[in-house]
Amino acid sequence: MAGRDVLLVMPTGAGKSACYQLPALCDSRLAVVVSPLVSLMVDQVGSLAGRAELINAQRDAAQNREALRRSLAGEVALLYVAPERFATPGFVDALSEAEIGLFVVDEAHCVSQWGHDFRPDYFRLGDVARQLGARSVFAATATATPRVAADVIRRLGLREPVRITTGFDRPNLSYDVVAVASARAKQQATLALLREPGALPAIVYAGTRKKTEETAARIGRELGVTVPAYHAGMEREPRAEAQRSFMSGETPVVVATNAFGMGVDKADVRTVVHETVPSSLEAYYQEAGRAGRDGLPSRCVLLAENRDKGLHVFFINQIEDAEAKNHRWRQYREVWGYVDGTVCRRAAILRHFGDRATPQAGERCCDVCDGPLGGLSTAPSPERRNVGDGVGSPTDAILSVVSEASPSVGRTRVVEILRGGRSKVIAKYGYDELPGYGSFHDWRADELLGEVDGLIDAGRLRSTGGRFPKLRLARAA
């Protein structure tokens, strides 16, 4: 209200939108709200009862022109705009005809290259705000680590901003990690969770577009209800219908990629299931945060399969920029440290975001504090190696792979398994489901091969010999 720049970091469901909507509604000037997702804009504009308009690529040109006209004419208080729209020739010039009060960057972590959902279109928003002569810039996010928050201030050029961080704890949410041995076990766990009393409405995050459609069809058949899929590759109308039917309560479950996440404001989501480990802990916190926005007890369940590690490693290795690659490896270690960790899940999340508050839980906290969910397998045991934390040794992992691999494997195949290889042989024989798969992704092949040969020399492993020698555990192992 005083015209100060603001950086607001507040948990999902705690009321970030109200913090800029109320000042905008009290101001005679136009507030411009930059929002990254169509679903977020539709929800928020719909809730503002004619006081807001939106412009994005999902609407036709005539609708966008009318939205701009109404905004310039002072007929609305807020204009929601997709970030890429500012690159359209003439758009900024046209918008500059209005007197701009607040320039809001929602989901502001997208401006940071260290954020989990970085978007290049966000980079120029600080310049756009200054070009429009905005009275103040308001950056809001639920998922900014201290590093990301500092980067947001720098990228947007915030001027001595008021910094408000209200904490990250969501006491009404429970956080459970469930280790699953296979895709089939994962499917069974999801269905068991959705069939429990009080589990619906629910969101199931399936990872890829293909998996999203397959999972939606499977759950729909098993539960005997219509289950829509939602992902960025869908046509505009089916995607909008999927969102509408879930938000209205017409369908009790939606299966989605992370495109169905930021800003989806359905208050009574009771369960969020992740069938794939997300690429970062920030992404998990945000997507899980769709649950329990009404403050009632809700569950966030992460189904973790070793195969997910290999997929993460595969995609990271496609990154060419060294700095970006190092950042993704850091996110990999953080999210798998959480999955494989043995401390309170809630405390782990709070510490990740720099929140030192004492965790407060409701009826249930997490699988570490309260034990595994009934009827489902437990999270990884304390003895399991934590990725990147130096705990455990390659010796244990090598002996485990040699012991459990079927068919038996040789020296180089052991190394490939531990480094998270994606060859056809790995997939054919299910080697990517072994406990040690991908756990030494950051080791060079010659380093791991040296460890294998050392175990052979020490008499703990023996080779079968022949044209295609395989490894066996020696009696000493």
Look up tokens 């980067």; give the residue. 151
Query: Which pLDDT score is estimated for 378?
Result: 43
Has residue 136 got a pLDDT over 90? yes
Question: What pLDDT is recorded for position 385?
Answer: 39
Burial of 112 (0-12, 13-18, 19+ CB in 10 A): buried
Q: Is the dihedral of CA 364, 369, 373, 379 positive or negative?
A: positive
Give the model's pLDDT for residue 214: 93
Please say if the pLDDT value at position 297 is more than 80: yes
CB 128, CB 117: distance < 8 Å = no
For residues 172, 243, 102, 161, the Cα torsion angle rounded to the nearest 10 degrees is 40
What average pLDDT does range 342-367 have in this prediction?
89
Q: Which of 63, 52, 60, 56 is nearest to 24 (CA)?
A: 52
pLDDT at res. 443? 80
The whole-number pLDDT of residue 375 equals: 62
Residue 281, pLDDT > 80, answer yes
Q: Write the CB contacts of 169 (distance below 8 Å, at least 6 apart in sequence).
A: 11, 346, 350, 355, 357, 359, 360
CB-CB neighbours of 412 under 10 Å: 13
What pLDDT is attached to residue 75? 92
Question: What is the DSSP track for 314-362?
Answer: HHHTT---HHHHHHHHHHHHHHHHHHH--S-HHHHHHHHTT--SPP--S
Distance (Å, whole) CA 270 – CA 293:
9
Tell me the pLDDT tens digit for each residue of 50-108.
Answer: 898 988 877 888 989 999 999 999 999 999 998 888 888 899 999 999 999 999 998 88
Measured between alpha carbons, how far is 115 from 224 in angstroms, rounded to an integer? 39
Q: Check whether 234 has a pLDDT greater than 60.
A: yes
pLDDT digit string (tens) for 312-352? 888 888 888 888 888 888 888 899 989 988 889 999 999 88
What's the confidence (pLDDT) of residue 322? 84
Q: From the CA atom positions of the chain, what is the Rg in Å?
A: 25
Q: What is the C-alpha separation between 85 and 91, in angstroms, rounded?
A: 7
| pLDDT of 389 strictly over 50 | no
Distance (Å, whole) CA 220 – CA 112: 38
Identify whether the C-beta of residue 396 lies closer than 8 Å to the C-beta of residue 196: no
Averaged pLDDT of the chain: 86
Task: State the average pLDDT over residues 454-458.
Answer: 80
pLDDT of residue 476: 62
pLDDT value at 380 more than 80? no
pLDDT > 70 in the chain, percent? 92
Whether the per-residue pLDDT at 117 is higher than 70: the answer is no
> Of 65 and 207, which is predicted with more confidence?
65
| CA atoms of 140 and 148, how far apart (whole Å) | 12
**Dihedral sign from CA coordinates of 309, 210, 228, 80:** positive
Q: Which two tokens stand for residue 453?
A: 């040969």
- Tell me what pLDDT residue 219 has: 95
Angle at 76 (CA atoms; ends 128, 3), nearest 5 degrees: 50
Q: Model confidence over 425-440: pLDDT tens digits?
A: 998 999 988 878 888 8
CA triplet 367, 171, 255: central angle to 5 degrees? Answer: 70
Q: What angle do CA 461, 465, 470 make, to 5 degrees?
A: 55
Residue 296 has pLDDT above 60, yes or no: yes
pLDDT score at 160 = 93
Confidence of residue 39 (pLDDT cuts 50, 70, 90): low
What is d(CA 259, CA 233) in angstroms, rounded to the nearest whole number? 10
Q: What pLDDT shows up at residue 36?
A: 77
Dihedral of the alpha carbons of 369, 373, 377, 380, in degrees to the nearest 10:
-20
pLDDT tens digit string along 440-452? 887 878 778 878 8
Tell me which range, 43-57, 276-290, 450-464, is most confidently predicted by mean pLDDT: 276-290
Better-scored residue on pLDDT, 311 or 197: 197
Residue with tokens 């800003």: 263
> What's the confidence (pLDDT) of residue 30?
95
Q: What would the mean pLDDT of 448-466 be, rounded to a whole number?
A: 84
Least confident of 34-38, 363-367, 433-437: 34-38
Helix pair 38-47, 236-247: axis angle to 10 deg: 50
pLDDT given at position 225: 92
d(CA 107, CA 139): 8
DSSP one-letter string for 31-73: EEEE-S-HHHHHHHHHHTTTSEEEE-TTS-HHHHHHHHHHHHT
